[in-house]
Amino acid sequence: MPALSLTVGAAPAGAQTARGVHLDLPAGPVSAALRAIALQTGASFGTDDPALLRRRTRRLRFDGGIDQAIETALAGTGLAARRVAPGIWRIVTERPRPQPRPPKPPPAPQVAPEIVVTGSKMDVTLAHYPASVAIIDGSDIAHVTGEHGTLAISELHPTLLSTRLGSGRNKLFLRGISDSSFSGASPSLVGQYLGDLRLAYASPDPDLRLYDVDRVEVLEGPQGSLYGAGSLGGVLRIVPNAPDPRQASGEAWAGAEATAHGTGSTDAGLVVNLPLSERAAVRILGYREATGGYIDDVGRGKKDVNSTRVAGGRVAVHTPVGSRWSLDLTGIGQDVRNADAQYEQRTLGRLVRASTFAQPSHHFYRALAVSVAGPLAGGRLHSSWGLVDQRLSQVFDATRPDEEPVAYRQRDHISLLSNETRLTRAFGRRWDGLIGFAALRSIDRQARSTGVPSQPVNLGTLDARVRETTLFGEARWHPDERLTMSAGGRVSFIEMRGAATGVLAKPAPGTTPTPPLRRQRLSTPSLALAWTPAPEATLYVRYAGGYRPGGLTVSGAVERFTPDTVRTAELGFRMQARELAGLQIEGTLARTDWRNVQADTVDGLGLPHTANVGNGIVRTATLQVRLSPVRRVTVAAGGFVADGDLVGWVPYLEETVRSALPNVARHGAVLSLGYAGRIASGHAFRANLRAHAVGHSLLGFGPELAFEQGDYAYVSGNLALDIGRTTLSLDLFNLFDTRGNIFALGTPFTLATSAQGTPLRPRTIRIGLRVRGF
């Protein structure tokens, strides 16, 4: 039988032995791993049976010598490499040593693939990660009917909550950390990343559609030592499917929805993966959505006014740089057009309001990311740059009762330039760590106008600029295989400038104008310990902090507000007892001390501004359970209870007020029941039923914003049938057409005169078709 060989170059044997090997490959055939080793060393591999090279390897990450690289690549495949000459190996079937046969061998335990938390920035395994984290598979996100952006995650993870002003305008909350219902000059409470690209800073949730996503990591906060400002509640890290140089592939999908009491919706998309060489590839995604409305405006005599149009895409390129470095380029674009606001006036009935003009919004998002990675100084260097451009326009109804119509318009142009460079390295078997540098520049130019809708009067502009330079690091010590201790910290040097024009620049009589420049130095620590008393169980304790810089805002003139900081103590556990019906369980207890809480709120005229509103305490408890009581059936449940108090000074009352933190539900839960099996050769069937509950919360801080929201529950589900490369799906949202007020705000200018609410989307049914591998 002829031999098959993989040969690259003709490096001398001594050079092959000395040359290091870097592997960073997804799971795939053995041939791909051996080809990567051959390309870097000039080695030659041969076999008498080409079928052996089609065996699958696991995900490979390795830096070291060629012998260890080959051993790592073949581990678990049943194959071995026999050296037949200097620099030449033959791949053969590994011959196990004969063992005495026991009378009744016990069944071999199922070994689950090791899960790596990439958001840790040191690729820490889940068993040794000392904090609460949820890893959501991209296939689960794809079946959340009616939501294809960030809100799809909140449907699956109960501690992630959001306002509901509309796509591209929302504000996220995680783990009970919430300051207000308005998006303003403060950095966000939840950091959002696509890979290492920072998606936003002091701006609303961009709500990128989560198509072609491998997974989403929800790292509950604070995460200040590794991620800096804007991560008080935690971090959402989206991991897209990477370009694959092994083979060309593609996938297309389309769906149609019917919504009770509203109009229909459609969505469609396409993703194509194209190899450019043996180690380079490009991946292209495009999508389009048309979501029908379900709220009627009786004032204008229009039905289903709150429709939305979304179009976007992503292009990613991966290419090698030399033999051991890699370069990744990613471009993102998305355009969201909301035809009108999505609130109802509850005194008029369900899904109804009365307006004199439309309140549309438009969110324009563009981003470019560049990253390089490779070995350096005995470790691994990763450097990434990101450029984000956002443009957001909004219209609010500011009409007073029995007066002429008045509109308030706000346009924001936000640009963000960010960089992070970090070096990770292991120091023997007991120590590893990272050290990094980060820089950020954010510019927000805001224009405001008000008046009769057809002839608005310019109020002026606000220009807010932030520069941030940061040093951060973390070290981990492993005194034995069961114990991991870590310590880290971050120091940031921040410069903020603010300027205003027009009416916004006029100070109140008798006041002194605020200097336009402000400099701050902020720091945050982290300490953690993880103990694995058994391979299936982990106990951890963690102390971590976070911060947001104080800045400049406008309320009649430019004013200052103070930085706010959080410190969290967390105790948690996770366990995987697969011999007990595949049981997986995780729980946490956390207490957060929040000082000088920043809140984006509105002044007496309804205009947005930022202020420090007091100090808060947040206490949370979470529990997640997953098991398979019978074959092919999975039951999962997750929930939380939260108690958040805010004590602050209310100027117009001239007294201290104690209140619940806004938008923090007292409790929440998600319960799901799933089935996955085969109904015929090559045909797979999946079904899932999910119940979601959200407890009671308040809109904002203080008596004037104490509007109730939440306290609802609904049921959703999906069915999917795989026939070869085609999938047919039926997805259902709010199966019983439950009513609920998910958010009590549409326009801040008329809160006092109208009972506003954002209704839960009525019953929606989607039929979908997906084709793979064309």
Query: What pLDDT, on a 0 to 100 scale, did the predictor assign at position 727?
Result: 93
CB 180 within 8 A of CB 662: yes
Residues 605-622 have a mean pLDDT of: 82
**Would the pLDDT of 17 be above 50?**
no
Lowest mean pLDDT among 10-24, 64-78, 218-232, 629-643: 10-24
What pLDDT, in 10s, does the model give residues 436-488?
999 999 999 999 999 998 888 998 888 889 999 999 999 999 998 899 999 99
Going by the DSSP 8-state scheme, the letter that residue 503 receives in this structure is G
Whether residue 11 is predicted with pLDDT greater than 70 in this model: the reply is no
Where residue 12 falls among pLDDT bands split at 50, 70, 90? Answer: very low
Range 4-93 classified under CATH 3.55.50.30: yes
CATH 1.10.340.30 fits 238-772, yes or no: no
For residue 26, say if its preceding peptide bond is cis, omega within 30 degrees of 0: no
DSSP collapsed to 3 states, 219-254: EECCCHHHHCCCCCCEEEEEEECCCCCCCCEEEEEE
- Distance from C-alpha of 538 to C-alpha of 685, rounded to nearest angstrom: 34
The dihedrals phi and psi of 637, each to the nearest 5 degrees, come to -145, 140
Percent of the chain with pLDDT over 90: 57
Which residues, at least 6 apart from 175, have a Cβ–Cβ distance to it below 8 Å? 132, 159, 220, 221, 233, 234, 590, 592, 618, 620, 642
Question: 282 with 243: CB under 8 angstroms?
Answer: yes
pLDDT in tens, 706-744: 889 999 999 999 999 999 899 999 999 999 999 999 999
- Per-residue pLDDT of 98-144, as tens digits, reads 444 445 454 444 444 567 888 899 888 888 899 999 999 888 888 77
- What was the pLDDT predicted at 555? 57
* pLDDT per residue as tens digits for the range 635-672: 999 999 999 888 886 655 567 778 888 888 999 999 99
> pLDDT at position 114, please?
65
- Average the pLDDT over each of 44-48, 358-362, 432-436, 476-480 and give the range with the smallest value: 44-48
pLDDT, tens digit, for every residue of 407-426? 999 999 999 999 999 999 98
Position 7 scores a pLDDT of: 45
Q: How far apart are CA 223 and CA 120, in angstroms?
A: 10
CATH (residue range 116-237): 2.170.130.10
Most confident of 177-191, 460-474, 568-582: 460-474
Average pLDDT score over residue span 492-508: 79
Lowest-confidence range among 196-210, 259-273, 553-567? 553-567
What is the crossing angle of helices 30-41 and 66-74, to 10°?
A: 170
Cα angle 612-615-617, degrees, rounded to a multiple of 5: 140
Please state which of the ranges 95-104, 362-371, 605-614, 671-680 shows the lowest mean pLDDT.
Answer: 95-104
d(CA 490, CA 521): 11
| pLDDT reported for residue 333 | 98
Average model confidence (pLDDT) across the chain: 87
What does the DSSP assignment read for 19-76?
Answer: S-EEEEE-SEEHHHHHHHHHHHH--EEEES-GGGGGSEE--EEEEE-HHHHHHHHHTT
* Distance in angstroms (rounded) separating the CA atoms of residues 727 and 772: 8
* Residue in the structure block whose two tokens are 């009589």: 509
Give 701 or 263, the one with higher predicted confidence. 263
Q: In whole angstroms, what is the distance from residue 613 CA to residue 617 CA?
A: 13
- Is residue 179 very low, low, confident or very high in pLDDT (cuts 50, 70, 90)? confident
- b/e per residue 740-772 (b: at least 16 CB within 10 A): bbbbbbbbbbbbeebebbbbbbbbbbbebebee
Per-residue pLDDT tens over the stretch 328-339: 999 999 999 999
* Integer-rounded Cα radius of gyration of the chain: 28
Instruction: Provide the pLDDT for residue 621.
Output: 97
If DSSP states are collapsed to H, E and C, what string results for 107-134? CCCCCCCCCEEHHHCCCEEHHHCCCCEE
Q: Where are the domains of the chain?
A: 4-93, 116-237, 238-772
Q: Compute the distance between CA of residue 472 and CA of residue 223 in angstroms, rounded to an integer.
A: 12
